[in-house]
C-alpha cells in the first residue's frame, strides 16, 4: 500500500514537471547537443558538410587570436569576480549584521533595483562616466586636480571590469547575505566570550560560515561574465573582443558554424572545468552547509 502510494506520488510529480522539463529539453538541450555535433563537422560553402573532424578543435586550440581572446575573457571574468565579491561582502555583512530586521527587505530592494533597469543604457552610461570627456575626467580637470584625462579608465579592460562589477553586484550580495543570515548569532557571542578579539571571531567563525555564500557568489558572477557580449561591444568599441564576440563573428559574420560551435563548446568546457576545480579546492568550506 505504502509503495503504491509512493508510485502514485512519483507519477503525479512526473506529470507536473513534464511540461517545463520537456520545454527545457526541446529549447535548451536539443540546441546544445546540436552545436556539440556541429563542432565535429566540416564547414562547406553555404552549408555544413557531414564529415567528422577534429580540425575545428585543433584550430581553436592553436589559433593565437583565439588564445588571446580566451585568456582575456578568463582574466576579465576573474577580475570582475574578485572585485565584485570583495566590494559586495562588506555590504552584505552590513545589511545582515547592522541593519535592523524590519529594514533589511528595503535595503535588499534598493540593492536590486538598478539591476532591473535597462542593461544596455547602464553599460552605455558607464562609458559616459568613464570616457575621455566623461563625468569623472571632466569634473577632475574642472576642479584642477588633473591636467590630462585619466587614461587608465578609458575604453579598456579596466572600464570593462568596472562596468561588469556594477552589473553583477546584486548577484554577489544576495548569496553572501543569505549565508550570513543563516549564521547562529550565539556562535559569535561564544567566540567573544572565549576571549577572541572581534577580528579573530570574524576570521575564525563568521568568514568560514559565510563561505558557501561567497562561493555561490563567485560562481554566479564568474559564469555569466565570461559570456558577456554587450560590454566589450559598447565599452571596448569592439576593439577588445571577449569570447562571446568571437563566437558571434564566427557563427554569423563569417558563417563558419562548425568553428563557432567548437569555440562555444570549448568556452563552456573551460567554464565548467574552472568551476569544478574551484568547488573542489573549496570542498572543506562547502561541508559547513550540511
* Footprint on residues 205-224 left by another protein (CB under 8 A): 219-220, 223-224
In the block, cell 555583512 appears at 93
Residues 126-155 that bind another protein (CB under 8 A): 126, 128-129, 133-135, 138-139, 142
Q: Which is nearer to another protein, 112 or 282 (CB)?
A: 112
Given candidates 16, 200, 254, 277, which one binds another protein under the rule CB under 8 A? 16
Separation of CA 3 from chain center: 43
The C-alpha atoms of residue 250 and residue 265 are separated, in whole angstroms, by 13
Stretch that binds another protein, among 60-68, 152-160, 266-274, 280-288 (CB under 8 A): 266-274
Q: Which is nearer to another protein, 31 or 208 (CB)?
A: 31
40 part of the interface to another protein, by CB under 8 A:
no
Stretch that binds another protein, among 60-68, 78-86, 182-190, 256-264 (CB under 8 A): 256-264
Given candidates 4, 19, 64, 195, which one binds another protein under the rule CB under 8 A? 19
The C-alpha atoms of residue 112 and residue 249 are separated, in whole angstroms, by 33
Cell numbers that stand for 182 in this block: 543563516
In the block, cell 560553402 appears at 45
The C-alpha atoms of residue 215 and residue 284 are separated, in whole angstroms, by 12
The C-alpha atoms of residue 198 and residue 58 are separated, in whole angstroms, by 55
Task: Tell me the three state secondary structure of residue 85.
Answer: helix
Residues 43-72 that bind another protein (CB under 8 A): none
The C-alpha atoms of residue 275 and residue 70 are separated, in whole angstroms, by 16
Given candidates 84, 168, 228, 266, which one binds another protein under the rule CB under 8 A? 228
Does residue 237 come out as left (phi exceeding 0), alpha (psi in the -120 to 50 range) or beta?
left
Site string for another protein, 69-88 (x = CB under 8 A): ------------------x-
Q: Which is nearer to another protein, 30 or 146 (CB)?
A: 30
Q: Which is nearer to another protein, 55 or 227 (CB)?
A: 227
273 part of the interface to another protein, by CB under 8 A:
no
Pick from 222, 221, 247, 219: which is nearest to 233 by CA?
A: 247
Amino acid at each position: 500500500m505504502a509503495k503504491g502510494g509512493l508510485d502514485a506520488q512519483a507519477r503525479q510529480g512526473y506529470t507536473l514537471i513534464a511540461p517545463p522539463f520537456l520545454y527545457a529539453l526541446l529549447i535548451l538541450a536539443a540546441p546544445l547537443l546540436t552545436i556539440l555535433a556541429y563542432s565535429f563537422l566540416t564547414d562547406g560553402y553555404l552549408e555544413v558538410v557531414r564529415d567528422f573532424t577534429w580540425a575545428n578543435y585543433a584550430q581553436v586550440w592553436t589559433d593565437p587570436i583565439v588564445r588571446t581572446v580566451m585568456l582575456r575573457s578568463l582574466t576579465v571574468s576573474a577580475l570582475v569576480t574578485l572585485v565584485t565579491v570583495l566590494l559586495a561582502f562588506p555590504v552584505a555583512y552590513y545589511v545582515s549584521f547592522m541593519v535592523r530586521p524590519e529594514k533589511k527587505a528595503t535595503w535588499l530592494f534598493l540593492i536590486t533595483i538598478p539591476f532591473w533597469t535597462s542593461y544596455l543604457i547602464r553599460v552605455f552610461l558607464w562609458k559616459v562616466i568613464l570616457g575621455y570627456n566623461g563625468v569623472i575626467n571632466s569634473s577632475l580637470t574642472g576642479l584642477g586636480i588633473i591636467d590630462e584625462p585619466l587614461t587608465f579608465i578609458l575604453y579598456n579592460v579596466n572600464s570593462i571590469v568596472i562596468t561588469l562589477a556594477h552589473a553583477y553586484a546584486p548577484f554577489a550580495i544576495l548569496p553572501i547575505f543569505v549565508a550570513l543570515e543563516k549564521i547562529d548569532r550565539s556562535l559569535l557571542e561564544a567566540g567573544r566570550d572565549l576571549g577572541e578579539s572581534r577580528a579573530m571571531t570574524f576570521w575564525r567563525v563568521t568568514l568560514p560560515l559565510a563561505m558557501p555564500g561567497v562561493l555561490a557568489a563567485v560562481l554566479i558572477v564568474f559564469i555569466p561574465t565570461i559570456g558577456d557580449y554587450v560590454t566589450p561591444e559598447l565599452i571596448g568599441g569592439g576593439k577588445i573582443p571577449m569570447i562571446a564576440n568571437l563566437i558571434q563573428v564566427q557563427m554569423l559574420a563569417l558563417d563558419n558554424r562548425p568553428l563557432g560551435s567548437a569555440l562555444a563548446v570549448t568556452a563552456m568546457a573551460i567554464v565548467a572545468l574552472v568551476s569544478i576545480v574551484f568547488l573542489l579546492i573549496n570542498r572543506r568550506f562547502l561541508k559547513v552547509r550540511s
